Amino acid sequence: MNFQLDNQKTRTLKHSTSSSSLLSRTRKLSSELKIYRPLKRSTSLSYRTNIPKTTTINTSNSTTIKTNIPKSNSFRELPTPTSPSSSYGKRLTRRFKSLRKISINTVSSSSTLSNISSPIFDPNINNETIISPPSSPSQSIPSPKISYNEDLIITDNEDEFDSSFSSISRDTSFNTSHSSISSCESSPIKSKAVFTDYTLRQLKVTTNSDDLLTLNTYSTITSFSTSSKIFEIPEILEIILRYVSINNNENNSIEPKMYRRPPLSYNHSLLMYGKNNGEKIWERTVSEGINYKETSGNKTLYNCLLVNKQWNYQINQILNENLIFNNDEKFEKFTSNKLHYKDNVNEIIEPISINLNKIKSPKSIYEIFENKLSSRRLEKIEYYICSNFLPSINLISNNLKKLVLPGCKILNDDNLKNLISKSPNLIHLDIRACDSITDSSIYFIANNCSKLELLNCGRHKRGELISDISIGLIAKNCPIKTIGLAGCGISDWSIWELALHCGSTLERLSINYCWKLTDVGICKVIKAKLIEKLSVLEIRGIQINNIEDLVNWRIRKLNEENFKVLIEACERIDLMINEFESKINYENNLKLMNDLTNWINNNENDNDINFRSFLNNHYIE
């Protein structure tokens, strides 16, 4: 077609896009070929290995061609053919024709990329090698990402090949990537003898895991009948898809995990992180504030929705287990959307967790949302700063373990008591910044939730509503591990109650801005070793002065148990802690230096021989 003589030294076959006779051939071939198996990367590696490899390929007439992969060295040592000989051309053509007849019996799962046929080599023809990747029929076959180097030459036209072999041009601009395979209607032929500088390294088949998955799903759509049976067994499919969904869930932590609370001021930052880091961290704190992480769901999971009905159903089941919404738009879309439930409009979703973050939709929309849900499996309800609605009593069941409603302005004692009365197995209750909750609710919780391990009722406003009466009862009745009492009107008595009743379980204690607390509380409790499991203590803005006990406790934990304790404090307390610590360090170092000086000046611990006795002995000899 468009073969031209360009250079006698480098002869290449130019890629031409169509040839009717060839097209029909390939069509036939492709129909025989059940599934396309793309080149694997390792095949390109195998060129470079020096071990000759034998590849067996079944032809349609059930004869077997045995081919050897020659040593790669021989490639480079090949003499460049100076001029094309006609016999060479004919041989090549014959070879080409025989390749046309090859049908590769590769019936296997579409998803497996592992068994991939290797190219054919024939070293028997005068150091000339013909390499042929398997044919790639164009229709209904996923195109693998195969990027050929420009030196890779693909010929289409065998009719013209015979006559015009001598007029082969080197086409440098031919650079096939994905399209090359899909548009190529025939088996590509490469001849090493034809282009000597071709290094096989340049043949790359890129298959990363994403491609694998898209390829996988795509091929399942197009040729589902040929796909592995395991994709038709719902139980196994579910396991596979759940595995895919693991990443999806990991990305969905809405509230960022904080290792430390942000510093309160520039000086405080310096105290907390030292001179070098303190400045940077303060700048970051000022510029960013607390940023909530945008959820970036795993796209692959959504791709899986498009595979087929069965996949769609399974994925929906998985997605519906954890309902997570970060903005009104998505929430309302979900609420109004009935597309997925065409078959069964009344289908009820049975989520395990519901997670709403700053949803400001009106109550009416929320009610529609809730009507779709069943409480049968519901274990976690987390509504962050959703002021317009509350979880209704219908969602609450014995299964509920986690109830998180921070910043819910409409939550009051009556509502909360209603919810709590139906959830006796609650473990995790977070009612931060719910200002209208009073002692009465907490008292009720203490009496109803005997398994409660985490309670957070920290607040900025109206701290006087929560006092010793309720917290004392919580300490008595619940196996508290974490308690947040920031800004509550509790006194030292509550701290003692907590220490005495929950001392063996308490791990995290926050008593920031509890204005009634004094040294008699937390400091003495810690000195008395009543809460030995405590690892995080937050004491911002409380009126304590005797921090020696806290510092000694921290040092003791580190030295004796190698257990790092975090004390989060405000600037005033941090300053005191720092001063005391440097005082301790100074004394410690002084002592250390004394010890060392004594040791180095002590001759008894010395194995050295006195040189005088050595010299005496020496001269006597």
Partner 1 sequence: MDEQDHSSHRNKNNITLKVGLIGDAQVGKTSLMVKYVENCFDEVYTQTLGVNFMERTINIKNTEITFSIWDLGGESEFTNMLPLVATDAVAILFMFDLSRKSTLNSIKDWYRQTRGFNRTAIPFLVGTKYDVFIELPIEEQDQITKQAKKYASAMNAPLIFSSTSASINIQKIFKIVISKAFDLRLKIPEITNTGEPILLYQDI
Nearer to partner 1, 259 or 611 (CB): 611
Instruction: Pick the binder of partner 1 from 56, 606, 620, 621 (CB under 8 A).
Output: 606
Stretch that binds partner 1, among 170-178, 190-198, 285-293, 611-619 (CB under 8 A): 611-619
- CB count in 10 Å sphere of residue 341: 14
The yes or no reply on residue 609 touching partner 1 (CB under 8 A) is yes
Stretch that binds partner 1, among 237-245, 252-260, 394-402, 598-606 (CB under 8 A): 598-606
CA distance 291 to 259: 14
491 closest CA partner among 466, 457, 458, 462: 466
Nearer to partner 1, 49 or 589 (CB): 589
Nearer to partner 1, 233 or 600 (CB): 600
The yes or no reply on residue 596 touching partner 1 (CB under 8 A) is yes
Nearer to partner 1, 290 or 596 (CB): 596
* DSSP 8-state secondary structure symbol assigned to residue 510: E
Compute the least distance from the CB of residue 543 to partner 1, in Å.
22
Nearer to partner 1, 390 or 577 (CB): 577
Nearer to partner 1, 235 or 560 (CB): 560
For partner 1 (CB under 8 A), the number of binding residues is 29
The token duo for 308 is 């087929």
Amino acid occupying residue 150: E
Compute the least distance from the CB of residue 551 to partner 1, in Å.
8
Stretch that binds partner 1, among 242-250, 432-440, 512-520, 551-559 (CB under 8 A): 551-559
CA distance 328 to 389: 13
Q: Which are the contacts of 546, defined by CB distance < 8 A and separation ≥ 6?
A: 519, 523
Stretch that binds partner 1, among 124-132, 190-198, 230-238, 588-596 (CB under 8 A): 588-596
The yes or no reply on residue 592 touching partner 1 (CB under 8 A) is yes
Instruction: Pick the binder of partner 1 from 380, 552, 572, 575 (CB under 8 A).
Output: 552
Instruction: Pick the binder of partner 1 from 178, 280, 293, 591 (CB under 8 A).
Output: 591
The yes or no reply on residue 528 touching partner 1 (CB under 8 A) is no
What 3 state SS string does 356-395 have?
EECCCCCHHHHHHHHHCECCCCCCEEEEECCCCCCCCHHH
Instruction: Pick the binder of partner 1 from 344, 608, 620, 621 (CB under 8 A).
Output: 608
Compute the least distance from the CB of residue 596 to partner 1, in Å.
6
Length, in residues, of the chain: 621
The yes or no reply on residue 520 touching partner 1 (CB under 8 A) is no
The yes or no reply on residue 595 touching partner 1 (CB under 8 A) is yes
For residues 494 and 522, the answer to whether their CB atoms sit within 8 Å is: no
The yes or no reply on residue 618 touching partner 1 (CB under 8 A) is yes
The yes or no reply on residue 600 touching partner 1 (CB under 8 A) is yes
The yes or no reply on residue 555 touching partner 1 (CB under 8 A) is yes
Compute the least distance from the CB of residue 530 to partner 1, in Å.
18
Alpha-carbon Rg for the chain in angstroms: 38
Nearer to partner 1, 210 or 595 (CB): 595
Nearer to partner 1, 482 or 578 (CB): 578
Nearer to partner 1, 321 or 548 (CB): 548
Looking only at the bridges linking them, the beta strands covering 190-191 and 145-147 are: unpaired
Stretch that binds partner 1, among 59-67, 83-91, 564-572, 592-600 (CB under 8 A): 592-600
The burial of 505, by beta-carbon neighbours within 10 Å (0-12 exposed, 13-18 middle, 19 or more buried), is given as middle
Nearer to partner 1, 455 or 523 (CB): 523
Between helix 468-477 and helix 492-502 the angle, nearest 10°, is: 0
Instruction: Pick the binder of partner 1 from 560, 564, 604, 621 (CB under 8 A).
Output: 560
The yes or no reply on residue 604 touching partner 1 (CB under 8 A) is no
Question: H helices of 289-357, where?
Answer: 299-304, 309-321, 328-336
Q: Which are the contacts of 461, defined by CB distance < 8 A and separation ≥ 6?
A: 435, 487
Q: Which long-range CB contacts under 8 A does 443-448 form with residues at least 24 apart?
A: 443/469, 443/470, 443/473, 444/416, 444/417, 444/420, 445/416, 445/420, 445/474, 446/470, 446/473, 446/474, 446/476, 446/477, 446/478, 447/473, 447/477, 448/420, 448/421, 448/424
Nearest 10 degrees: Cα torsion 540, 545, 551, 553: -90
Local structure of 396: helix, strand or coil: coil
The yes or no reply on residue 599 touching partner 1 (CB under 8 A) is yes
For residues 71 and 52, the answer to whether their CB atoms sit within 8 Å is: yes
The yes or no reply on residue 584 touching partner 1 (CB under 8 A) is yes
CA distance 437 to 435: 6
- Report the interface residues with partner 1, using CB under 8 A: 548, 552, 555-556, 559-560, 583-584, 587-588, 591-593, 595-597, 599-601, 603, 605-609, 611, 614-615, 618
